[in-house]
Amino acid sequence: MRGLFFTSIMNKKSEITSWALYDLANTIFATNIVSLYFPLWVIIDRGAADKFYILPYYFSMVLAMFIFPFLGILSDSLKRYALFLNIFTIGCIVCTALIGLSGNLFIGILFFAFANLFNQASANIFYPALLTRVASRDKIPLVSGLGVGLGYVGTIIGVFSVKFFIRDLGYRGVFLPTAILFLLFSLPSFFFVKDEKVNNIDSNYLQSAINSYLQKLIGTFRIIGNNKALLRFFCAILFVINGVNGVLLNIGAYGRRVIGFSDSELPVFIAISTVFAFFSAFVFGFVIKKLGEKRTFSLVLMGWVFILTAVAFCHRKDLCWLFGPAGGILLAGTWVTLRPLIIKVASPDRIGEFFGLTALASVLGSLFSPLLWLVTIAIFEPLGLVKYRIALFMLAFLVFIGFILLQKIPDKKLIE
C-alpha cells in the first residue's frame, strides 16, 4: 500500500513538472521565432520589407479566430487535450524546422504562419485545459505560477542557445535549433501528461456542445451590449492587448534597426528584461493586495505609455538598456493583474465565460496592431527610421486609450 501511495505521489510530481516544462518549451518558440529572429531573418537576411513577417502572423491569427472556438469544443467533447497538445506541438516543431531548411522567403513565410497557428492553439487551448488534470484545485495557482516562472527561464535559454548559430549561419541558423529545443523540453509532457480515460463518448455530444456554445456566446455578447460598463471593460482590454502584442511582435526588428543593438547585445537585452519580469511577477501579487486590481492595472498601463513613448523618442542606446527591464516589469504586471481583475468584475458563475472572452480579445488583440504598424511605416516611409518611432508611439496610444476606458469603469462587479 505504501509503495502504491509513493508511486502515485511521484507520478503526480512528474506530471506537474512535465506540464510546467511545456511552458518553458513554448516560450522558447515564442521568443526566438515570433518576437526576435523570424522578423530579423526576413528584414536582414532576406532583405524583405516588414510586411513579410507581419502579414503571415496576421493571417495565422485571423485563421485562429475562426477555428479556436471549435478546437476547444472538439477537445472538450473528446476529452483528449493531451492528444491535441501533442499533435499541434509536433506540427509547430516541424514547421519551425522547415523555415530554416527551406531557405526560401515565401516558403519560410508559409511555414511560419502555420507554426504560429499550431503554437497558438497548443498554448492557448490544450495546454491550459490540462491544468485541472495535473493539479488539484488548491494547487492550481502554485502550479500555474510554476509554469509562468519556467516560461521566463525559457526566454533566457532560447536567446542564448542560438547565439553561436547566428554567428556562423546568420538568422537562418536559429530555426532548427529552436525546433530541437522545443521538442526536447516538451517531450516530458508527451510521456507524463495523459488524458483521463473516458468511455462511451456520445456521438451527438459534439453537435450539442457547438449549439450550446453558440447560444451562450450570443447571450454573453447581448449582455455586454446592454451593459455599458462591461462593454468599456472589454474594449479597454482589447486596446491594451493590441498595444502590448504589437510591442512583442516588433521588439526584435525595432531593437536591431532603430536602437542599434548588435546580434550579441540583443539576447542580453532580452535576458535582462526577462529576469526583471520573473522577479516582479511575484511582487505584483503583494501590490494588488495593497492597491487593488483596478488601481494596480491602471499604474501598469500608465507605465507602458511612459516607457513606449520614452523609447520612441530616445536616441541613446545606453538609456534603452534601462527601459528594457522596465518593460519586463510592466509585461509581468499586465498578465499578473489582468486575471484577478477579470475575476473581480465577473459574477462567480460566469468567470469561465469571461476568461473565454478575454482569450478572444487576446486573439483580436493580435489583429489590429500589426496593421497599424504597417500602415504607419507606409505613411511615414519618407522619414526613414523615424517611421518606426512613430509606429511605436502609436502602440503607446493604443494602451493610453485602454487606460482612459478603464477609468470609466466602476471598481466593483459589473454583472451579477
Q: What is the pLDDT of residue 214?
A: 67
Q: What is the pLDDT of residue 33?
A: 94
On the question of pLDDT at 96 being above 90, the answer is yes
pLDDT band at 167 (very low <50, low <70, confident <90, very high): confident
Spatial CB neighbours of 66, under 8 Å, sequence gap ≥ 6:
none
Q: What is the pLDDT of residue 7?
A: 41
pLDDT band at 10 (very low <50, low <70, confident <90, very high): very low
Count the helix, strand and coil residues of the chain and give each as a percent rounded to the nearest 5.
Answer: 85, 0, 15
Asked whether 229 and 414 are in contact (CB, 8 A), the reply is yes
Share of the chain above pLDDT 70, in %: 82
On the question of pLDDT at 226 being above 80, the answer is no
Angle at CA 135, nearest 5°, toward 17 and 138?
Answer: 125
Q: What is the pLDDT of residues 292-309, one digit of tens each?
A: 888 889 999 999 999 999
Buried b (16+ CB within 10 A) or exposed e, 371-380: ebbbebbeee
Q: What is the pLDDT of residue 5?
A: 37
Asked whether 307 and 351 are in contact (CB, 8 A), the reply is no
On the question of pLDDT at 181 being above 50, the answer is yes
Residue with cell 541558423: 173
By three-state DSSP, how is residue 357 classified? Answer: helix
Walk me through the domains of the chain, giving residue ranges and CATH numbers.
Answer: 12-201 (1.20.1250.20), 223-416 (1.20.1250.20)
Rounded CA separation 23/128 (Å): 10
Asked whether 296 and 391 are in contact (CB, 8 A), the reply is no
Q: Identify the CA nearest to 406 among candidates 348, 337, 355, 318.
A: 337
Q: What is the pLDDT of residues 235-293, one digit of tens each?
A: 888 899 889 988 988 888 899 889 999 888 888 898 899 889 888 877 877 888 788 88
Point out the least confidently predicted range of 150-154, 158-162, 225-229, 397-401. 225-229
Residue with cell 512535465: 18
Average pLDDT over residues 17-46: 91
384: number of Cβ within 10 Å = 8
Rounded CA separation 20/148 (Å): 8
Rounded CA separation 135/130 (Å): 9
pLDDT band at 401 (very low <50, low <70, confident <90, very high): very high
Point out the least confidently predicted range of 129-138, 174-183, 330-339, 396-405. 129-138
On the question of pLDDT at 3 being above 50, the answer is no
DSSP letter assigned to residue 46: S
Q: What is the pLDDT of residue 413?
A: 56
Q: What is the pLDDT of residue 2?
A: 45
Query: CB burial class (10 A; 0-12, 13-18, 19+) of residue 292?
Result: middle
Alpha carbon distance, N-terminus to C-terminus of the chain: 48
Point out the least confidently predicted range of 62-71, 79-88, 198-207, 290-299. 198-207
Q: What is the pLDDT of residue 386?
A: 94
Q: Identify the CA nearest to 170 among candidates 253, 119, 103, 219.
A: 103
Is pLDDT larger for residue 404 or for residue 352?
A: 404
Asked whether 135 and 14 are in contact (CB, 8 A), the reply is no
On the question of pLDDT at 376 being above 60, the answer is yes
Asked whether 413 and 345 are in contact (CB, 8 A), the reply is yes
Point out the least confidently predicted range of 58-67, 133-142, 151-160, 184-193. 133-142
Cα within 13 Å of Cα(267), Cβ side: 21
Average pLDDT over residues 319-330: 91
Q: DSSP readout, 64-104?
A: HHHHHHHHHHHHHHHT-HHHHHHHHHHHHHHHHHHHHHH--
Angle at CA 251, nearest 5°, toward 322 and 43?
Answer: 135
Distances in Å between the Cα of 73 and the Cα atoms of 67, 126, 194, 196, 263 are 10, 11, 19, 17, 43
* E strands present in 312-373: none
Q: What is the pLDDT of residue 8?
A: 43
On the question of pLDDT at 6 being above 50, the answer is no
Q: What type of residue is 319?
A: L
On the question of pLDDT at 415 being above 70, the answer is no
On the question of pLDDT at 136 being above 80, the answer is no
Radius of gyration, CA atoms only, the chain: 21
pLDDT band at 26 (very low <50, low <70, confident <90, very high): very high
Report the length, in residues, of the chain.
416
Rounded CA separation 203/221 (Å): 29
Q: What is the pLDDT of residues 347-369, one digit of tens each?
A: 665 555 565 566 666 677 677 88
Spatial CB neighbours of 19, under 8 Å, sequence gap ≥ 6:
127, 130, 131, 134, 135, 143, 147, 189, 193
pLDDT band at 327 (very low <50, low <70, confident <90, very high): very high
Max mean pLDDT among 2-16, 126-140, 339-353 falls in 126-140
* CA atoms 350, 340, 147, 183: torsion sign: positive
The pLDDT mean for the chain works out to 82
Assigned C-alpha cell, 389: 518611432
